[in-house]
Amino acid sequence: MKRILSILVLLIFIVSACAFAAPDNPTLILATTTSTQDSGLLDVLIPMFEAESGYTVQTVAVGSGQAMTMGQEGNADVLLVHAPASEVKFMKDGFGKDRALIMHNDFIIVGPAADPAGIKGLAVVDALKALSAGTAEFVSRGDDSGTHKAELKLWKKAEYDPKAAAPAWYLESGQGMGATLTIASEKGAYTMIDRATYLANKDNLQLEILVEGDNALLNVYHVITVNPEKWDKVNYDGALAFLNFMIASSTQEVIGEFGVDKYGQPLFYPDADKTDADLGL
C-alpha cells in the first residue's frame, strides 16, 4: 500500500511539474489600451494567465494606435486593442497573425451636472453638434488611441472637424483615459470615455453620464498576435497562449462578471462566441 501511495505521489509530482513547466521564453510583452488597465480588469486577468501559463507579462498600457505601432516595430508580442478599422489594416498589412474578438462595452459622453451645452439625452451626433457651439470645453485624449479614433469618427458624422477648426474650447490631453477624465472633471468639461473606466473612477469625479445607449457608441476589443514572420524575436507562443486564454470560457466568464459586485453591472461583455458581424462591424 505504501509503495502504491509513493508511486501515486510521484506521478502527481511529475504531472504537476509538467503542467507548470516554465516556457522556453517566459516573458510576454502585452501592449494594451489604457481602458483595460484603468478599469482594473487586467489586475484580475493577468495574474490568472501567469498562474495558468507560466509566462510573466510585461504590460504596456497605451492608446490602441501606439499599441499597434509597437506591434509594427516588433516591440510587443501581443495586443489588446479597441480600434477595429485600424486593426483590420494592421492585419492586411501583415503585422498581425491572429485576431480574436474578446469583449465589448460602450462609450459614453460625460460632463458636469449643470450640462451647459444641453446635451443630456441627445443622440451622440446631435450632442456633438451642440458641443460644437463652444458653450463649454471638451477634453479629447488626442493621442491616436481607440477612444480618440472613435471620437473623431463621430465628429465626422456630426459634420465638424475639431482638429482642423482648432477651437479654443476643444482641448487635447495627450494622455490616457483616466488622466483625461480627471482633467475634464477639474475643468467642468465634457469628454468621451468608455463606460468601464468611468465607473471605475466615478467616485473621484464631478462628472455625470449625459449621452449613452447610441449604437454608434459601441466599443469592441480584440486580441492580436504580432506576426513572427515580420519579427523573428516576437514571442509568438506566448502571444498565442494569451489569445487562447482570453477566449477560453472560464476567462470569458470572469470578464462577464467583472464589476457586477461593485457597480451592479458588468464593465465588459464577453464576445468570444460571436463574430464581428454579430456586433455590426
Beta bridge partners of 223: 80, 100
Question: Are residues 165 and 260 located together in one domain of the fold?
Answer: no
Question: Are residues 150 and 212 located together in one domain of the fold?
Answer: yes
Pull the grid cell for residue 256. 462577464
Kindly report the pTM of this predicted structure.
0.84
Query: Pick the residue with more confidence: 158 or 11?
Result: 158
How far apart CA 66 and CA 62 sit, in angstroms, is: 6
- Does residue 8 sit within a domain? no
Question: Are residues 81 and 56 located together in one domain of the fold?
Answer: yes
Each residue of 202-253: pLDDT tens digit?
Answer: 999 999 999 999 989 999 999 999 999 999 899 999 999 999 999 999 999 9
Question: Are residues 131 and 202 located together in one domain of the fold?
Answer: yes
Question: Are residues 100 and 226 located together in one domain of the fold?
Answer: yes
Each residue of 16-52: pLDDT tens digit?
Answer: 444 456 788 899 999 999 889 888 999 999 999 999 9
Question: Are residues 144 and 230 located together in one domain of the fold?
Answer: no
Range of the domain at 237: 24-105+220-275
Pull the grid cell for residue 160. 465638424
Question: Are residues 126 and 206 located together in one domain of the fold?
Answer: yes
State the DSSP H helix or E strand holding residue 134, giving kind and residue range, or none if neither. Answer: none
Each residue of 78-133: pLDDT tens digit?
Answer: 999 999 999 999 999 999 999 999 999 999 999 999 999 999 999 999 999 999 99
| pLDDT value of position 234 | 96
Question: Are residues 113 and 200 located together in one domain of the fold?
Answer: yes
Question: Are residues 68 and 116 located together in one domain of the fold?
Answer: no
Each residue of 156-208: pLDDT tens digit?
Answer: 999 999 989 999 999 999 998 889 999 999 999 999 999 988 998 999 999 99
What CATH number does the domain containing 185 carry?
Answer: 3.40.190.10
- Does residue 230 sit within a domain? yes
- Does residue 13 sit within a domain? no
Which among 169, 198, 217 is the end of a domain? Answer: 217
Question: Are residues 98 and 170 located together in one domain of the fold?
Answer: no
Beta bridge partners of 103: 221, 270
